[in-house]
Amino acid sequence: MKRMIGGASLAVLSAVLIAGPENVQAAQEMRQGVPAVLTPREVEPLPDPTPAINAFREENKRVKRPRFVVFWNRDLSDEVVTYYIDYQARGLEVRTPEVTRERTTTTNMHTHYNGQLHGEREVRDTVRGNPGSVSAQAYDYSGTVRLNKDQARKNLEEILNWKVQGGFKNLMIKGGARLIDRDMINRVEGAGAQSNEQVNTHAIEINAMLGKADYMIEVLLAPSAESESGLAFQVNVVQIETGETITSMYSDAMPPTREVKQYEATRNGFKEYYEVEGYSEQRVGEELAIRTMMELTDYWRMMADS
């Protein structure tokens, strides 16, 4: 390699001495038998979400930065009372000694008169009962169980759910939204409840939201083979005090992507392939936040103009 570089430098110097300094640039740029160097095609940049985020931030300030409580993949049911039921279970639990089975196989091989190998196999099963006797124990259980407990939907792999939720909430916060944690306000509102008390958790949740939040963002999601992002979202934004629906939006939250041509060195030369840039689970959550911000911005502007 060094020799080739040295030879090339000597050739350029010879060209300068013979042809004169006016041909220096041509001698350096062009070599005989070598294709021209192609200019790489410029890759178009991904769309910038900053204008949408800034527009939300300005409108959010204008309406005095309302507080949002997020119901992430959790339905807000129409139940107003928490139902409990008392139960009692009685019975007899019978225990018997364990029985084990052992199988022994014996094979005897011998040569027949015609020279062929023959064998005899003996299989013997032995059943043994472990020491002990039959025992019986009575049980009597009683207690109280809650019937209509609101639970989060568990239709998405946990780590994937964390990534999408983190992308959504973080971008909402960066856009200036005040996000209120649902679990925290419920715990604060119900701090005086006793362990043996039949608490109306539905009333606690509504009272907590009325005092500490202005809007509820309900985000329901599910895997979808029809969606480009692999997920489907239903977002509902409701004003808590009045129950007014601000927006109801379905989205696949597919973020903008681009294909970038790349090359990989192989033993047969360079192999061309395309790499998709702009997609990740966090970006799906961020795209959902951007579309939610745009819906809220449009609503606030519409109300300001009416």
Q: Could you tell me if 289 and 160 lie in one domain?
A: yes
**HSE-up (13 A, CA, CB side) for residue 88:** 2
Q: Are residues 26 and 104 in the same domain?
A: no
Cα–Cα nearest to 283, from 262, 249, 305, 257: 257
Written as six digits, the tokens of 87 are: 């139960």
| Per-10-residue mean pLDDT, the chain, length 306 | 41 46 52 63 84 97 96 68 57 67 60 53 61 66 56 74 95 97 88 71 82 94 91 96 96 91 83 84 96 98 92
Q: Determine the pLDDT at residue 148.
A: 47
Does 129 lie in the same domain as 14? no
Domain that holds residue 19: 8-37
pTM over 0.75: no
* Domain tally, the chain: 3
Question: Is residue 43, in this structure, part of any structural domain at all?
Answer: no
> Does one domain contain both 194 and 254?
yes
Residue 234 lies in a domain: yes
Shared domain for 33 and 57, answered yes or no, is: no
What is the C-alpha to C-alpha distance for residues 113 and 116, in angstroms, rounded to an integer? 7
* 294 vs 302: CA distance, rounded Å: 12
Residue 61 domain flag: yes
**Domain boundary pick from 103, 137, 171:** 137
Query: What SS3 class is residue 297?
Result: helix
The dihedral of CA 188, 193, 196, 199: what is its sign?
negative
